Structure 1
Amino acid sequence: MFVHRIDEDLELRLIEVGDAERIFELTDRHRSNLRTWLPWVDHTESKEDTKSAIRNFLHGYAENQSMTVVILFQDVIVGMASYNKLDWTNKIAYIGYWLAEDYQGRGIMTKTVKSLTTHAFSSMGMNKVDIRAASENRASCAIPERLGFTQEGVLRDQEWVNDHFVDHVVYGMLRKEWEN
């Protein structure tokens, strides 16, 4: 099982079905903020919906196509991050993430994404890490910008989020850039 301690307060751990109650509680408590950017929020109406999603995440992990982790801050789940897709042919890891509002602004997500990026290059042999965020989601865009990712473009009307399309900003980091 994947477990990675980032520092004394922060740890990443492969998601488990037993995490469903806490993840649903976070989703429900922060629903109004999360639904602005994440289309799955409105379809997550119960702990059972969350369990079903976790089973799908674990299937993707077993098939070596993705990896979803919980973010633990001081041993409490505060969000999630993932390699949404692992493209082994082209050696690209696609990272996604969300964090409960009351834990934002503490550097948690920057450290998480930095750790996942390093892991993708050093342990998985990836050549590129790709992050896509809604162009209006400044907090989410700030993470790859802070870590020195290159903005590679904007995908217009890329995702239907609840009642409208949103553009995605595409950020990329190459292994040779990260190592420098």
Structure 2
Amino acid sequence: MFAKKVDDELELVLVHPALAMKYATIVEANRDYLSQWMAWAPHVKTEDDFKAFVKNSLLDYANGKSMVCAIEYKGILVGNIAFNTIKPELKMVEIGYWLDARYQGCGIMTRCCQAMINIAFNHLKVEKVQISAAKDNYSSRDVCERLGMTLEGVITNKEVVSGRILDHAVYGLYKPQ
């Protein structure tokens, strides 16, 4: 199983079936918050839903399409981070993430994103990392800015989440030459 130690507090762990119940518990506790920004949040509710998520994630990982990791903070599952898409032909990955609201403000997501960026540039050998965040999700956009990413533009009417049409702010970071 893939695991990447980020620092003394954080570890990224490739998703696996034993995490399904923990995911269900976290999402249930954060459903209202997550449903503001994540289209899937209102729909995944049971351990079986998360087992299916893990199974699909591992299949996509095996096929080189994505890499989904649990975020463990001091040994506790607190969120998720992923290369939602890996596009070798474009030498690009797109990162997506979510975090238990109780753990926000601790620098967890910025540190985890930096670890994923390092994996992308040094192991996957891509040239660009991209993050799309809802235009009004300022916490997520702040992560992108702390990482030194450049706002490349805003895509209007990108997705429907909880009955709202959201625009996406798209950030990019290129591998240093």
Q: Structure 1 length normalisation: TM-score?
A: 0.96
Once the two structures are superposed, residues 10-57 of structure 1 have per-residue CA deviations (whole angstroms, 9 ceiling, x without a partner) of 100101011000011000000000000000011112111111111111
Once the two structures are superposed, residues 71-106 of structure 1 have per-residue CA deviations (whole angstroms, 9 ceiling, x without a partner) of 000111000000000001011010000000000000
Residue in 2 aligned with 1:159?
Answer: 159
Offset at residue 162 of structure 1 (A) = 1.9
Residue in 1 aligned with 2:53?
Answer: 53
Instruction: Name the CA distance, whole Å, in 2 between partners of 1:37 and 1:117.
Output: 22
Instruction: Name the CA distance, whole Å, in 1 between partners of 2:149 and 2:116.
Output: 13
Residue in 2 aligned with 1:70?
Answer: 70
What letter matches 1:152 in structure 2?
A: E
Instruction: Name the CA distance, whole Å, in 2 between partners of 1:77 and 1:153.
Output: 33
Note the residue ranges of structure 1 that are not aligned, 5 or more in a row. Answer: none
Give the match's secondary structure for 1:109: helix
What letter matches 1:90 in structure 2?
A: L
Give the match's secondary structure for 1:55: helix
What letter matches 2:153 in structure 1?
A: G
What letter matches 1:106 in structure 2?
A: C
What letter matches 2:142 in structure 1?
A: A
Instruction: Name the CA distance, whole Å, in 1 between partners of 2:73 and 2:24.
Output: 17
Instruction: Name the CA distance, whole Å, in 1 between partners of 2:159 and 2:38.
Output: 9
Give the match's secondary structure for 2:90: coil
Residue in 2 aligned with 1:13?
Answer: 13
Offset at residue 169 of structure 1 (A) = 0.2
Give the match's secondary structure for 1:42: coil
Residue in 2 aligned with 1:39?
Answer: 39
Instruction: Name the CA distance, whole Å, in 1 between partners of 2:3 and 2:128.
Output: 22
Give the match's secondary structure for 2:42: helix
Residue in 2 aligned with 1:117?
Answer: 117
Instruction: Name the CA distance, whole Å, in 1 between partners of 2:94 and 2:82.
Output: 8
Instruction: Name the CA distance, whole Å, in 2 between partners of 1:3 and 1:47.
Output: 22
Q: Where has structure 1 moved over 4 Å in runs of 4 or more? A: none
Residue in 1 aligned with 2:174?
Answer: 174
User: For this pair of structures, how many residues does the alignment match?
Assistant: 177
User: What is the aligned-residue identity percentage?
Assistant: 35
Offset at residue 6 of structure 1 (A) = 1.0
Once the two structures are superposed, residues 148-179 of structure 1 have per-residue CA deviations (whole angstroms, 9 ceiling, x without a partner) of 10000000010111202100000000002xx6
Once the two structures are superposed, residues 117-170 of structure 1 have per-residue CA deviations (whole angstroms, 9 ceiling, x without a partner) of 011001110000000000000111111111110000000010111202100000
What letter matches 1:26 in structure 2?
A: I
Give the match's secondary structure for 1:172: strand
Q: Structure 2 length normalisation: TM-score?
A: 0.98
Residue in 2 aligned with 1:145?
Answer: 145
